[in-house]
Amino acid sequence: MQNSKDNIIEEWDLTIEPQTSLFELNLKDVWRYRDLLWMFVKRDFVSFYKQTILGPLWFFIQPLFTTIIYTFIFGGLANLSTDGLPQPLFYMAGITAWNYFADCITKTSTVFKDNANIFGKVYFPRLIMPLSIVASNLVRFGVQMILLFMMMGYYALHNASFSITPAILLFPVLVLLMALLGLGLGLIITALTTKYRDLAFLVTFGIQLLMYTTTVIYPLSSAPEKYKTLISLNPMTGIIEAFRYAFLGQGQISVNTLGYSAVFTIVVMVLGVVIFNKTEKTFVDTV
Amino acid sequence: MATAIKVENLSKIYRLGEIGTGTISRDIERFVKTKILKQEDPFLKIGESNDRATKGVSDIVYSLKDINFEIEQGEAVGIIGRNGAGKSTLLKILSRVTSPTTGKVNIKGRVASLLEVGTGFHPELTGRENIYLNGAILGMRKREIDRKLDEIIYFSGVERYIDTPVKRYSSGMYVRLAFAVAAHLESEILIVDEVLAVGDAEFQKKCLGKMGEVSKGEGRTVLFVSHNLGAVEQLCKKGILFNNGQLKSIGITRDIIDYYVKNNSMMHDSLSRVFENNDLIISPIEIFQNGNLQFYNKDKIYFSFQINSKTKLTAISGEFFFETSNGTIVFSYFTPQFSMEENTIKKIKICVPAYIFNDMLYSITLGISESYSRFIIKKESAAKFEIACVNEELGWMGDFPGVVRPKISCEIL
């Protein structure tokens, strides 16, 4: 082989080196493995209801019971305002949206730990795994949206006061924001927990606490004035409020809050992917 | 011929001991020194070779150190070496599971690596669904699997069960299906680690045949790690020997194996090591026979070891596999099942009758299994021992070929 040196370098299909730049994300590889993403989603879905009697009905049961409990405690006992909306509808909308975000975070935050075995044995773009989690949660979210629609239908027949607004066109954007925000935070957490285990303990109750600073069980309009800014600083607040406004016609929607959420999401997402990408190369040695 | 894999100055270090304490301060120290002050990485300087038997000065070891070699297209290369020699680390780097600390690997062609059969199999899914899932994990596109589905099912020989969840499969069927998927990967380079240790003899033969076909017939490059030196010799023309993270020798397989066996037959080399996992700790195997250091085949020989349980273990049994140095199992023994409470100690002692072993080196693979089916821990070459024979009655003083040497009675009428 008497080629010039440059020619030889170009010939290689793959070069394995210790450090790659922070932003070398290998998105081409992710695209090449898109079938795998779909397989994982299918696996999650099928294995979820195999050997259960109620099967996919289980997707309904959790939000339904949570709604009943919230209606009883926060609506009945604590008498929190729901902006004039029927209480179950108000809570259901909040819970459905929040659950999607929370599931995305909790499931992606353990990606490295849960898949240490498979990651230690075979290469595929690691990003596929968290992406598949977000996608299979999307299926779940879709099913739960049907429940919300059914409930809206029921209340429409009983002349309850709510209305779907044109903001419903923003729905895909809202879902995307929730998915990316959950994904981004999850990626940061999972990358850091490979070395510093402490964060893992924080996630479960941290998310619960976070829910109370988001407008899931109360509307932003009824929050005390001095806490309003604080609550609005939570990027999920703007999303949940917009979500509720879109489907039920009550909630505070503005370019500012949504813009803030979007910027926050993008920053978290970029940060998450970069940290994740850096960790995936060597985590096998530390987990 | 063109080069398929070119490895240059490849090194990989591991930090020993507890990871997690003080890592933040170390990470910061390392970051400041290397990125801001542009000094040499403080953790790379103090490395030493990966010799587990001697206690090192620092807690950083080289799992691989300055490895250089090239493999040509269409070559079948066997990688041999003792446990911890760096074989698996090399395969992990080549399959991109972990990345090297320094150095570079250039690869031409698509790599399919098989560090384990059935990675990602989901017990609830059917055989067919798992073919798709496992295939996708190994890097196949859905179209590709569609095209090869019939061939894969036929090769696996589990047609009847293909729509049954794999959790109902026997372990043999499971392995067959998994290997069948991997064997049908379309790649220019195939990396295989120890997968032949599972499955029955007939299937192992089929796998070896398939791999031979892959390297000779289809001209693909094969990298093969195995403790079964016989299989390596049969399959590979070229061999690479690793020792303590360094490349010792590279050349024709037969020569490499000879060199390895000669250097590796130091007895008792592994007798002093404890091994453990999350469930239990196993003490080194003790071998004794009337206080001798040299064992004779005319006497019973005892093997014992101790188990310290870390968790509650039920229905476990100790499994001994007595092997010759090229990996052929001479015989095996499974103890009766027993249970252990958390943090208790049990000692197992077995006695192998006289007139079994021949005049040669044997090694023991020791395992603890649950319900005789799943290994909780398995240790290849947990101990090695050499047997001497005294030719009692005969005048013949030479070797008696064979892996066993029973006492046979004879009448000449």
Q: In this predicted model, what pLDDT tens digit does every residue of B350-362 receive, in sequence order?
A: 999 988 988 778 8
Is B167's Cβ below 8 Å from some Cβ in A? Answer: no
Decide if A50 is inside a domain: no
Cross-chain Cβ contact B99/A36 below 8 Å: no
Of B96, B125, B136, the CB nearest to A35: B136
Pairing of strands A14-16, B102-107: antiparallel
What pLDDT was estimated at residue B21?
Answer: 44
What pLDDT was estimated at residue B262?
Answer: 59
What pLDDT was estimated at residue A286?
Answer: 67
- Residue B396 tokens read as 């013949």
- Residue A283 tokens read as 């985590």
Q: Which of chain B's residues have a Cβ under 8 Å away from the Cβ of A121? A: 97, 115-116, 119
Cross-chain Cβ contact B132/A11 below 8 Å: no
Instruction: Report the alpha-carbon distance of residue A171 to residue B255 in Å, rounded.
Output: 69
Cross-chain Cβ contact B19/A286 below 8 Å: yes
Is B44's Cβ below 8 Å from some Cβ in A? Answer: no
Which residue in A36, A114, A115, A279 has the most chain B C-beta atoms within 10 A of its own C-beta, making it the best mutation to test that interface?
A: A36
User: What does the pLDDT look like over A136-159, one tens digit per residue?
Assistant: 999 989 989 999 999 999 988 887
Max CA separation in chain B (angstroms) = 91
Instruction: Report the alpha-carbon distance of residue B130 to residue B161 in Å, rounded.
Output: 12
Strand partners, A87: none
Q: Chain A to chain B, count of Cβ pairs less than 8 Å apart? A: 110
Is A48's Cβ below 8 Å from some Cβ in B? Answer: no
Identity of the residue numbered B134: N
What pLDDT was estimated at residue B45?
Answer: 45
Which residue in A13, A46, A47 has the most chain B C-beta atoms within 10 A of its own C-beta, making it the best mutation to test that interface?
A: A13
Decide if A234 is inside a domain: yes
Decide if A165 is inside a domain: yes
Q: Tens of pLDDT along chain B (413 residues)?
A: 688 899 999 988 877 655 444 456 666 666 666 666 665 555 554 444 445 444 455 567 788 889 999 998 888 899 988 777 888 889 888 988 888 888 889 998 888 888 877 788 888 889 999 999 999 988 888 999 999 999 999 988 888 999 999 889 887 788 888 888 888 887 888 888 876 555 566 776 777 777 777 777 777 888 888 766 667 777 888 999 988 888 888 998 888 877 776 565 444 444 556 778 888 888 888 887 775 555 777 788 888 888 999 889 888 999 999 998 778 899 999 999 999 998 899 999 999 998 898 877 888 889 999 888 888 888 888 888 877 666 555 545 556 778 898 888 888 88
> Where do the domains of chain B lie, and which CATH numbers do they carry?
3-68 (no CATH), 72-264 (3.40.50.300), 275-388 (2.70.50.60)
- Provide the 10 A C-beta neighbour count for residue B133: 22
Decide if A174 is inside a domain: yes
Is A1's Cβ below 8 Å from some Cβ in B? Answer: yes
Q: Is A47 left (phi over 0), alpha (psi -120 to 50) or beta?
A: alpha
Is A16's Cβ below 8 Å from some Cβ in B? Answer: yes
Which of these, B400, B319, B408, B406, lies nearest to B364 by C-alpha position? B319
Domain count for chain A: 1
The answer to whether A34 touches A118, Cβ cutoff 8 Å, is no
Cross-chain Cβ contact A123/B95 below 8 Å: yes
Is A17's Cβ below 8 Å from some Cβ in B? Answer: yes
Instruction: Report the alpha-carbon distance of residue B76 to residue B226 in Å, rounded.
Output: 13
Which of these, A199, A162, A2, A170, lies nearest to A85 by C-alpha position? A162
As separate numbers, helices (DSSP H) first and strands (DSSP E) second, chain B gives: 9, 21
The answer to whether B380 touches B227, Cβ cutoff 8 Å, is yes
Strand partners, B111: B189
Write out the DSSP string of B21-43. Answer: TTHHHHHHHHHIIIIIS----HH
Distance from CA of B127 to the nearest CA of A (A): 13
Instruction: Report the alpha-carbon distance of residue B62 to residue A25 in Å, rounded.
Output: 28
User: In terms of C-beta density within 10 A (0-12 exposed, 13-18 middle, 19 or more buried), how is residue B83 classed?
Assistant: middle
Listed in sequence order, the DSSP H helices in B55-120 are 87-94
Q: Write B268-276 long-range contacts (CB < 8 A, 24+).
A: B268/B383, B268/B384, B268/B385, B269/B53, B269/B384, B270/B381, B270/B382, B270/B383, B270/B384, B271/B383, B271/B384, B272/B53, B273/B52, B273/B53, B275/B377, B275/B379, B275/B382, B276/B310, B276/B377
Domain residues for A164?
Answer: 59-286
**Radius of gyration for chain A, computed over Cα atoms and rounded to the nearest angstrom:** 22
Decide if A15 is inside a domain: no
Segments in chain A below pLDDT 70: 1-10, 19-25, 286-287
Evaluate if pTM is beyond 0.90. Answer: no
**DSSP three-state, residue B157:** coil
Is B168's Cβ below 8 Å from some Cβ in A? Answer: no
**DSSP three-state, residue B389:** coil
Strand partners, B404: B357
Decide if A3 is inside a domain: no
Decide if A9 is inside a domain: no
Is B411's Cβ below 8 Å from some Cβ in A? Answer: no
Of A14, A47, A119, the CB nearest to B124: A47
Is A163's Cβ below 8 Å from some Cβ in B? Answer: no
Decide if A247 is inside a domain: yes
